[in-house]
Amino acid sequence: MKNELMNFEKIKRKTWQKLHRNTTVPLTQEELNSIKSFNDKISLQEVLDVYLPLTNLIRIYKKASGDLAFSKSLFLQTRNRPQPFIIGIAGSVAVGKSTTSRLLQILLARTFKYAKVEMVTTDGFLFPNKVLEERGILTKKGFPESYNMELLLDFLDTIKNGQSCEIPVYSHEIYDIVPDKTQKIESPDFLIVEGINVFQNPQNQRLYVSDYFDLAIYVDADVENIENWYLERFQKLLKLAETDPNNYYHRFTQLPFNEVLGMAQDTWKHINLANLEKYIEPTRSRADIILHKGQNHEIDEIYLKK
């Protein structure tokens, strides 16, 4: 990791938290509880120490992006069209990307009071299970080939050009794309795009999803910790599915626990870990900011691209 991050400034949390003087957190504990994933342990203190300075830094990036767009329009003698500021958030399964994304959505909406802040997850760009089965890659869901990357690129291009777009919706409860349901994204000021694959595009090496980002954030942690969090989350999903026959995980509640836990460990090793090591982690250096989490889920180090 050392050589890979030589182009990053490493900042300890104690240093980072001093970079922002605001001592008021613009959301309540109840609001924080409602947006965090159920295996996350984020606190209001972390919002104050880490996410408020991060929001302030995003403000700086946003202003720089707007100034550049204005200067380019003067140079080209064209009308300066407003474009959304697009933030990509990547990282492993179970590392806490969703919580980071939802939290930033709230903080940005309250920092930029008249801004429209939208969030999408790239799960919606997975091929439906039927297509994955036909291609023999259902067991590789989450790997690059399981995503309709052309559709994702078309979506980003459409939004970047100021147009509205409807995209598919994915449900973890049914473990599939929801039929006849879409999410409409219409002229946002900020767009947060969250997913394990947002720095990738192996189907088209000439154009990457991250080419559309104004800011790229990678949520990082040691592999041993991510595995523990994944297994914790799996067990909580099982608990939730006990009384819901329509839930994808309900079928596993009918099996002996040790057998199901062994299946989860195999899934981690042969699918999620393999995907992390081969496709996700190698894209980490494409980020502008890396948020590193310690064993207790708390962010302990921040890496900022020089």
* Residue set of the binding site for ATP: 91-98
Rounded CA-CA distance 205/200 in Å is 9
User: Which residues line the annotated binding site?
Assistant: 91-98
Cβ–Cβ < 8 Å for 84, 188:
yes
What does the alpha-carbon distance between residue 289 and residue 100 come to, in Å, rounded to a whole number?
Answer: 13
Task: Evaluate whether 232 touches 39 at the Cβ level (below 8 Å).
Answer: yes
Instruction: Find, among 134, 107, 121, 281, the residue nearest to 199 by Cα.
Output: 281
Determine the 3-state secondary structure of 42 from DSSP.
Answer: coil
Query: Per DSSP, what are the bridge partners of residue 299?
Result: 293
Quote the longest CA-to-CA distance of the chain: 69
Rounded Cα distance, 306 and 291, in Å: 15
Cβ burial of 218 (10 Å; 0-12, 13-18, 19+) is: buried
Q: How far apart are CA 230 and CA 192, in angstroms?
A: 23
Beta-carbon-side half-sphere exposure of residue 49 (alpha carbons within 13 Å): 16
Rg of the chain over all Cα atoms, to the nearest angstrom: 20
